[in-house]
Chains A and B, each alone.
Chain A
Amino acid sequence: MPLIIFKSHDGETKEVHAEAGTSVMQAAVDSGIDGILGECGGSCSCATCHCYIDPAWVAKVSPADSTEVDMLECVLEPKETSRLSCQVILTDEMDGIIIDMPESQY
């Protein structure tokens, strides 16, 4: 099971193992990580699961579709590495991925 390292905006880290095929959002929610909300349950409707992919890992993550790109343009503090974590599906190649979380989802 791939390992995900969640980093909160103040530098606190939490390591979570999740099955390949689950989303980074679901892995966060199932571990009680409060920086990622995932209110719509993963249907790319709410943008409350915004995160930043650590630059070293961006290449291992499949790109965002047009809906996600439009949503990301309007989140608080968007960056080049912004993603909606409900759309980032874990693969075995992503073992050890570092996910930085924004200060706020709103």
Chain B
Amino acid sequence: MSEHCIIIGASHAAAQLATSLRQEGWEGKISIVGDEPYMPYHRPPLSKAFFVGEKTEDELLIRAANFYEKNNIDLLLGCRVDRIDRDAKKIILQDDAEIAYTKLAITTGARVRKIPFKGSELAGVFYMRDLNDVKQTHKFTGKGKSAVIIGGGYIGLETAASLRKIGMSVTVIEAMSRVLQRVTAPEVSAFYTRVHTEEGVDIRTDAGVDAITGEQHVDGVRLSDGTTIPADLVIIGVGVIPNIEIAEAAGLTIDNGIVVDEHARTNDHDILAAGDCTNHYNPIYQRKLRLESVQNATDQAKIAAKTICGKLETYNTLPWFWSDQYDLKLQIAGLSQGFDQVIIRGDSENSRSFAAFYLCEGRLIAVDAINRPKEFMTTKRALSTGQTADPIKLADDAIDIKDAFTN
């Protein structure tokens, strides 16, 4: 039988995996099966440039439409995989069609966590994950209208910034005591709260949602303390959960994601997985991770493609992330979880440019760099190559950031 690599999920990881397979010399057939009707697209602009109309649908595409044809990559879009038959090495689609594979890659990503608030079925209530979601929000946006965002994480805050840009009044409801609580230091949360407030966003922390109100169309959000905030649009951004169901049903090992080894292989070595849906060991942080990021989708997909082509390399990349809000470019290198010390370089209380370095037992583990590309780039390289940082020099904005690191 001729070689056929099937990729399930037309995601960022899928686009990279298919491309890397060709670059690594895979001569067999490649098929990407995706349940959305779209070719693989960039998701980060959905809450930003696409949301405010600065990017078109075509500009979201990761690769131009003709790329797949030119590289002999078949796209089966609007097509849902029902199950994997590992013994027969085939996938079964929901319309009962069967496709045989020699190698299978699962890049199904993650989906939004849904919370059954009373009223969450009303028109004008949205989650932000898919292009379809965001296209529908456009009917409910407009200058002078009001929006309530439930969830003060990155997606919630990016969306708040976008809605302000188009002239809407915006309230952000956060259940915890500060925005970005799960992912940043208090200083960074305080910074984002200040900037959003300066930009006209009403941020309510320690606030629970009692119900989303309205008849057919949403008209407000009632908080646990009884106050109601009027809203023409409600966006819920409270995290994602990995799409592991078809892998689990096929008997693959699952533990907060599809468990893969350092070569992106599941416990069935003919089935690989990459991106948000995986749980993998990171040698830099010496622990198992499930990451939600473009970097992870891209880099793990490259490793998976190499493995499929018989070139075993270890996935050992420093995680990094970014978030654009207003005139703020946040770039994050490394993972700050578990930090016991924060060093601020620059003025986080009055300016819009500083870096927060995270340390654990005296060792630098991550940086949040806001309008500080040099700090980001330098720290990213230092963490990747194992350089050590001098905490005193990190804190001193007068010293070139490059001089804060030694081999």
CB < 8 Å neighbour of A74 from B63, B381, B384: B381
CB < 8 Å neighbour of A75 from B19, B66, B331, B377: B377
CB of A73 within 8 A of CB of B374, answer yes
Residues of chain B lying within 8 A (CB to CB) of residue A31: 67
Residues of chain A lying within 8 A (CB to CB) of residue B63: 29-30
Number of A-B residue pairs with CB-CB distance less than 8 Å in the complex they form: 61
Binary per-residue interface labels of chain A (31-42) against chain B in the complex, 1 for a CB within 8 Å, 0 otherwise: 110100101110
Q: How far is the CA of A71 from the CA of B329 in the complex (A)?
A: 12
CB of B374 within 8 A of CB of A70, answer yes
Q: Which residue of chain A is the closest to B20 with respect to CB atoms?
A: A34
Interface range on chain B (Cβ under 8 Å from partner): 20 to 34
A47 within 8 A of B: yes
CB < 8 Å neighbour of A45 from B298, B329, B372: B329
Chain B residues 195 to 219 lying within 8 A of chain A, measured CB to CB, are none
Chain A residues 18 to 36 lying within 8 A of chain B, measured CB to CB, are 26, 29-32, 34
Q: Which residue of chain A is the closest to B41 with respect to CB atoms?
A: A41
CB of B23 within 8 A of CB of A34, answer yes
Q: How far is the CA of A46 from the CA of B373 in the complex (A)?
A: 9
Q: How far is the CA of A47 from the CA of B374 in the complex (A)?
A: 11
B339 within 8 A of A: no
CB of A74 within 8 A of CB of B378, answer yes
CB of A41 within 8 A of CB of B62, answer yes
B320 within 8 A of A: yes
CB of A46 within 8 A of CB of B45, answer no
Binary per-residue interface labels of chain A (78-95) against chain B in the complex, 1 for a CB within 8 Å, 0 otherwise: 000000000000000000
Residues of chain A lying within 8 A (CB to CB) of residue B224: none
Q: Which residue of chain B is the closest to A69 with respect to CB atoms?
A: B373
B295 within 8 A of A: yes
Q: Which residue of chain A is the closest to B63 with respect to CB atoms?
A: A30
Residues of chain A lying within 8 A (CB to CB) of residue B373: 67, 70-71, 74
What are 5 sample pairs from A and B whose C-beta atoms fall under 8 A apart? A30-B64, A45-B322, A67-B371, A70-B372, A70-B374
